[in-house]
């Protein structure tokens, strides 16, 4: 029996609520076989369609085995974030409204949400009031957009219109990145024709922070050239922050463009307790961050800010004359993103911020840091466990010596084995990384719902994996 649209949506609401209810107790990462997953869905496109309710039931059955509980309180892999209930709700409505957010005239409500939420975010992060903002898919797209603006501005100053003429024959831009820059900085450079391998990599310290003295030394022979410097707030391994004030100081005499990748670390600026880590942030030219990580908005949602709105807009939009260009104050969102037609991401971001307020955002970020520090304190107190990083944000790096002790290679192997056992156990999920040539377990706290009890349960599961009973 075919359900009415109202009944179909009610059925989905029930399924979604069941999923949310299951999150606190469901195994976080389920072992799945790719062949078994494939077998559930016929490879051949059916000739005749199926009933929508049956299609949804089939998807939901697939999801029961094949979605990872990243939305739950004990997912600590990568830096993923969950979703605030209010943001899920806003996102449901966004799908239902089916807005094309590119143009103001297609969705005045979204354009206003972006304008307002963009202003709130500038205030939260302490960015210049005149900075432009784009609501993009994620921090990869945000880094791309910001570096496109940089490319425009640097070449414009050198008398070259890169959007019109391309890079063939253009003056060369010198690009400097910290040795610990996120891979998406390199991808952005690759996509922009600035080259992944021709960058100057600047030395970092033991926590992965760019060294201002090394930056100054790298800049010295480049004086007078167009220069782009990419700094980072929040290292994906250690959580460490490049010293932005010192970097801004070093960069200034060179007239360089300073970009800050702060996918999750930028959120430190929203907390009075943590804002010291990003002192000097406002002196950069562009900033990239995510809403789908630590703001706990649904995927996909990233944000780019630029202190030079004209460069931002020139880099990303070629005005098409058939478009209805609104005069005056209305803002066309497409001018600030690489996309043209796109999802109305402004609703969920606005809803998340409206429901949290300034204090709620700060509390959420501070709680994440407190949870990471709790992990570090409890695990670090156990024999054979070493905390490798200064836990200044939400990231904890750990190594596990084998029960009988052993050398560095044995500790590498036991650390990997412990990670494998934790993943198999399913109480929580985390993954491994390599830090300074050594295997490490990486714990990242970025879910709004993670509480002390989740940390303590996870600590017990991790220690049980690292210290199996003898025999």
Ligand X SMILES: *Cc1c(COP(=O)(O)O)cnc(C)c1O
For ligand X, give the closer residue by CB, 288 or 314: 288
For ligand X, give the closer residue by CB, 182 or 343: 182
For ligand X, give the closer residue by CB, 13 or 183: 183
- Minimum CB separation of residue 213 from ligand X in Å reads 23
For ligand X, give the closer residue by CB, 302 or 346: 302
- Minimum CB separation of residue 187 from ligand X in Å reads 9
Alpha helices for 72-138 (secondary structure H)? 85-97, 108-125
Inter-residue contact 318 to 163 (CB < 8 Å): yes
Alpha-carbon distances, residue 122 vs 127, 355, 360, 390, 399 (angstroms): 5, 17, 16, 28, 38
Binding site for ligand X (CB under 6 A): 79, 138-140, 182, 184, 232, 234, 236, 261, 263-264, 290, 302
Alpha helices for 289-447 (secondary structure H)? 309-316, 346-380, 408-425
Peptide bond into 300 cis (omega under 30): yes
Q: How far is CA 417 from the centre of its chain?
A: 28
For ligand X, give the closer residue by CB, 227 or 266: 266
- Minimum CB separation of residue 142 from ligand X in Å reads 7
Q: Which residues contact 134 (CB under 8 A, 6 or more apart)?
A: 142, 145, 303, 304, 312, 316, 333, 336, 337
Q: Which strands, in side-by-side order, build the sheet including 286-290?
A: 132-136, 302-306, 286-290, 257-261, 227-232, 174-178, 200-202
Query: What backbone phi and psi angles, to 5 degrees, belong to 151?
Result: -60, -45
How far is 94 from 454, CA to CA, in rounded Å? Answer: 31
Q: Is the dihedral of CA 168, 170, 176, 181 positive or negative?
A: negative
Q: Kindly state the tokens that stand for 309.
A: 């709105």
Q: Give CA angle at 443 (440, 449), nearest 5°.
A: 170
For ligand X, give the closer residue by CB, 190 or 319: 190
Residue nearest to ligand X (CB): 138
For ligand X, give the closer residue by CB, 261 or 332: 261
Alpha-carbon distances, residue 98 vs 13, 107, 333, 334, 345 (angstroms): 18, 10, 16, 16, 11
- Nearest CA to 127 out of 352, 327, 312 is that of 312
For ligand X, give the closer residue by CB, 118 or 239: 239
- Minimum CB separation of residue 236 from ligand X in Å reads 5
For ligand X, give the closer residue by CB, 132 or 232: 232
- Please give the helix or strand (H or E) that residue 457 lies within, else none: helix 452-466
How far is 258 from 451, CA to CA, in rounded Å? Answer: 37
Burial class (CB in 10 A: 0-12, 13-18, 19+), 2: exposed
Collapsing DSSP to helix, strand or coil, 444 comes out as strand
Helix/strand/coil (H, E, C) string of 157-204?
HCCCCHHHHCCCCCCCCEEEEECCCCHHHHHHHHHCCCCCCCCEEECE
Q: How far is CA 292 from the centre of its chain?
A: 6
For ligand X, give the closer residue by CB, 107 or 184: 184
Alpha-carbon distances, residue 326 vs 106, 108, 163, 189, 317 (angstroms): 12, 11, 23, 33, 15
For ligand X, give the closer residue by CB, 81 or 102: 81
Inter-residue contact 338 to 137 (CB < 8 Å): no
For ligand X, give the closer residue by CB, 83 or 232: 232
């Amino acid at each position: 029996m075919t359900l009415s649209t109202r009944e179909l949506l009610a059925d989905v609401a029930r399924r979604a609520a069941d999923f949310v209810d299951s999150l606190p107790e469901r195994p976080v990462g389920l072992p799945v076989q790719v062949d078994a997953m494939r077998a559930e869905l016929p490879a051949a496109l059916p000739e005749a369609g199926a009933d929508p309710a049956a299609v949804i039931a089939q998807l939901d059955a697939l999801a029961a085995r094949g979605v990872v509980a990243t939305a739950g309180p004990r997912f600590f892999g990568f830096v993923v974030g969950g979703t605030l209930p209010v943001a899920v709700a806003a996102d449901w409505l966004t799908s239902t409204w089916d807005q094309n957010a590119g143009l103001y005239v297609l969705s005045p409500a979204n354009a206003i949400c972006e304008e307002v939420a963009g202003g709130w975010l500038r205030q939260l992060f302490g960015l210049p009031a005149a900075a432009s903002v784009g609501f993009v898919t994620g921090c990869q797209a945000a880094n791309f957009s910001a570096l496109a603006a940089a490319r425009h501005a640097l070449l414009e100053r050198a008398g070259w219109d890169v959007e019109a003429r391309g890079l063939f024959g253009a003056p060369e831009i010198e690009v400097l990145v910290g040795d610990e820059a996120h891979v998406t900085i390199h991808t952005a450079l690759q996509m922009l024709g600035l080259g992944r391998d021709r960058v100057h990599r600047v030395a970092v310290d033991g926590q992965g922070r760019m060294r201002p003295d090394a930056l100054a030394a790298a800049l010295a022979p480049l004086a007078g050239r167009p220069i782009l410097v990419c700094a980072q707030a929040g290292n994906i391994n250690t959580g460490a922050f490049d010293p932005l004030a010192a970097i801004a100081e070093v960069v200034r005499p060179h007239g360089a463009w300073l970009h800050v990748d702060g996918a999750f670390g930028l959120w430190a600026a929203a907390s009075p307790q943590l804002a010291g880590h990003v002192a000097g942030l406002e002196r950069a030219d562009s900033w990239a961050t995510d809403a789908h990580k630590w703001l706990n908005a649904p995927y996909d949602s990233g944000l780019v800010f630029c202190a030079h709105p004209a460069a931002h807009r020139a880099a990303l939009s070629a005005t098409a004359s058939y478009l209805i260009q609104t005069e005056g104050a209305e803002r066309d969102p497409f001018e600030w993103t690489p996309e043209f037609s796109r999802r109305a991401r402004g609703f969920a971001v606005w809803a998340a911020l409206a429901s949290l307020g300034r204090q709620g955002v700060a509390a959420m970020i501070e709680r994440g840091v407190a949870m990471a520090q709790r992990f570090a304190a409890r695990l670090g107190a156990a024999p054979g466990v070493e905390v490798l990083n200064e836990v200044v944000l939400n990231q904890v790096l750990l190594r596990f010596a084998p029960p009988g002790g052993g050398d560095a290679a044995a500790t590498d192997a036991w650390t990997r084995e412990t990670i494998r056992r934790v993943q198999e156990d399913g109480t929580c999920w985390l993954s491994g990384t390599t830090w300074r040539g050594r295997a490490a377990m990486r714990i990242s706290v970025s879910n709004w719902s993670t509480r002390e009890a989740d940390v303590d349960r996870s600590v017990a599961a991790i220690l049980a994996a690292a210290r199996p009973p003898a025999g």
